[in-house]
Amino acid sequence: MKATFFSGETTVKIAQILFLLKSLMWLLFSVIFVILFLGKAVLIITPIILADAILFLWLGWKIAKKRRWVYYFALLFLFANIVMAFADEFGWADFLVMLSDVAILAFLILKRKQFLPTNIDTKSIDDR
């Protein structure tokens, strides 16, 4: 019998917490950005940051549903966030954000069986 570090339910809760923390981080960054950098850039960057926060929040909610498309969308979204960390000047804040994305991505990949439907899990097959 193979020992597991986390049970399935615990693994999903950890992922949900990580997504929620990322969402809160992006919400905080959007407020800081608006306060510190008033101007035209705020009109461009702030909606992007808020969209990121909303998507992280949405993924945290949906990842527990065991939908294959949600899992792969989460992987793609995290990978895109990692790539976007290099889009402008790369500093220590970008490194920390990228590192947290890499950690969540690695966690999802390593624990993928907890986020994907099983063959007998017919409840998760429907797309509600």
Where do the structural domains in the chain lie, given as residue ranges? Answer: 9-116
* pLDDT tens profile 81-114: 999 888 878 888 889 989 999 999 999 999 999 8
Q: How many CB atoms lie within 10 A of CB 70?
A: 20
Contact 33, 10 (CB under 8 A): no
Q: Say if residue 121's pLDDT is above 60.
A: no
pTM: 0.80
DSSP letter assigned to residue 85: T
Q: Which tokens is 113 given?
A: 């069986």
Query: What does the alpha-carbon distance between residue 62 and residue 58 come to, in Å, rounded to a whole number?
Result: 6
Q: Say if residue 3's pLDDT is above 60.
A: no
pLDDT number for residue 14: 92
pLDDT number for residue 110: 94
pLDDT number for residue 74: 96
pLDDT: which is higher, 43 or 117:
117
